[in-house]
């Protein structure tokens, strides 16, 4: 898909995600908006998928390890046709809904792994990638993790394992927006050179602007040409990207838009619908 169409689609998915949270009465808007461009590029330009057959064994796999960013994930799945809100309950976080407060495998079509307990995504993805190698399949495994999430020790156990097994079918995207729920990354822990950390574990690593569609596409293509090592793409992003009242305001990590803020969101994002 052309860059301009992906950017337009990303704005639509941002609006869908905010609407979902507004109408659902709860949610995490800004962590969802920071990764909208990566998610849109993956779902509309990169991953091999079949929404009519979500369990197709040759599909590329995707794990939203930072599961609290579910809204943009659900928005993409809905837009791709994985489920129809007219036939199933899709009210966010509601009893009986297929859209729970964190992604649940087996409940939401298209969700490859339950997530939300931070830190597990890379290790699970490594297992999927190992299985792909064992089965001699050519599917790839894509993961999105938060920068704060990398403070979990299990991340580095998975990172070490992936390098040991030379999992060049594994792609990790780090949402490097500089914030986590408790404050800025620098305040809570440190503000590390994430790419260098992964390189120290023998990963292929690069850093990009996580809102530049061309950079996202090129980084994936270039990574795919490098064999024998897993890939990490550190994406410099803005938390709450796309909404003037939300960008870099960490109070929006988990917060509900007012009616007036929802109207503002529609005005600022409607150009992409």
Could you list the residue range(s) of the whole structural domain that residue 70 is in? 3-272
The candidate with the shortest Cα–Cα distance to 36, out of 73, 90, 4, is 73
The candidate with the shortest Cα–Cα distance to 28, out of 78, 67, 79, 80, is 67
DSSP secondary structure letter of residue 45 = I
CB 105 within 8 A of CB 67: no
Cα(first)–Cα(last) distance of the chain, in Å? 16
For residue range 237-268, list pLDDT tens digits in order. Answer: 999 999 999 999 999 999 999 999 999 999 99
For residue range 197-226, list pLDDT tens digits in order. Answer: 999 999 999 999 999 999 999 999 999 999
Token digits of residue 111: 């969700």
25-31 average pLDDT score: 96
Laid out side by side, the sheet with 170-176 consists of 61-64, 141-146, 170-176, 231-236, 204-209
**Crossing angle of the two packed helices 153-164 and 121-134, in degrees rounded to 10:** 20
Q: Residue 273: what pLDDT?
A: 46
> For residues 49 and 53, what is the distance between their CA atoms, to the nearest angstrom?
8
**Average pLDDT in the chain:** 96
Q: Residue 272: what pLDDT?
A: 44
Report the CATH number at residue 102: 3.40.50.970
Report helix, strand or coil for 161.
helix
Report helix, strand or coil for 234.
strand
**Which comes out higher in pLDDT, residue 87 or 234?**
234
Phi/psi zone of residue 93: left (φ > 0), alpha (ψ -120 to 50 degrees), beta? left
Q: How many domains does the chain have?
A: 1
Neighbour tally for 125: CB within 10 Å: 28
Q: Residue 85: what pLDDT?
A: 81
Neighbour tally for 236: CB within 10 Å: 19
Lowest average pLDDT, out of 15-24, 70-79, 190-199, 204-213, goes to: 190-199
Token digits of residue 218: 């090129």
For residue range 172-191, list pLDDT tens digits in order. Answer: 999 999 999 999 998 998 77
């Amino acid at each position: 898909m052309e860059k301009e169409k992906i950017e337009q689609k990303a704005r639509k998915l941002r609006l869908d995600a905010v609407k979902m949270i507004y109408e659902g009465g709860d949610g995490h808007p800004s962590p969802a908006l920071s990764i909208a461009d990566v998610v849109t590029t993956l779902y509309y330009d990169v991953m091999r998928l079949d929404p009519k057959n979500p369990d197709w064994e040759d599909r590329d796999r995707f794990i939203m390890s930072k599961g609290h960013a579910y809204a943009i994930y659900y928005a993409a799945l809905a837009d791709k046709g994985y489920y129809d809100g007219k036939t199933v309950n899709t009210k966010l976080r509601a009893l009986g809904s297929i859209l729970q407060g964190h992604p649940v495998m087996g409940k939401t079509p298209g969700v490859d792994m339950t997530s939300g307990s931070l830190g597990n995504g890379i290790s699970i993805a490594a297992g999927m990638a190992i299985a792909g190698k064992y089965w001699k399949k050519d599917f790839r495994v894509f993961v999105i993790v938060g920068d704060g999430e990398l403070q979990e020790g299990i991340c580095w156990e998975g990172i070490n394992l992936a390098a040991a097994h030379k999992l060049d079918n594994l792609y990790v995207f780090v949402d490097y927006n500089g914030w986590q729920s408790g404050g800025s990354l620098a305040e809570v822990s440190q503000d590390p050179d994430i790419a260098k950390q992964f390189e120290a574990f023998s990963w292929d690593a690069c850093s990009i602007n996580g809102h530049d569609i061309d950079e996202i596409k090129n980084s994936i293509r270039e990574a795919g040409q490098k064999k024998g090592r897993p890939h990490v793409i550190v994406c410099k992003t803005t938390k709450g990207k796309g909404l003037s009242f939300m960008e870099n305001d960490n109070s929006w990590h988990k917060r509900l838009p007012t009616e007036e803020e929802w109207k503002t969101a529609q005005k600022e994002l409607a150009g992409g619908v």
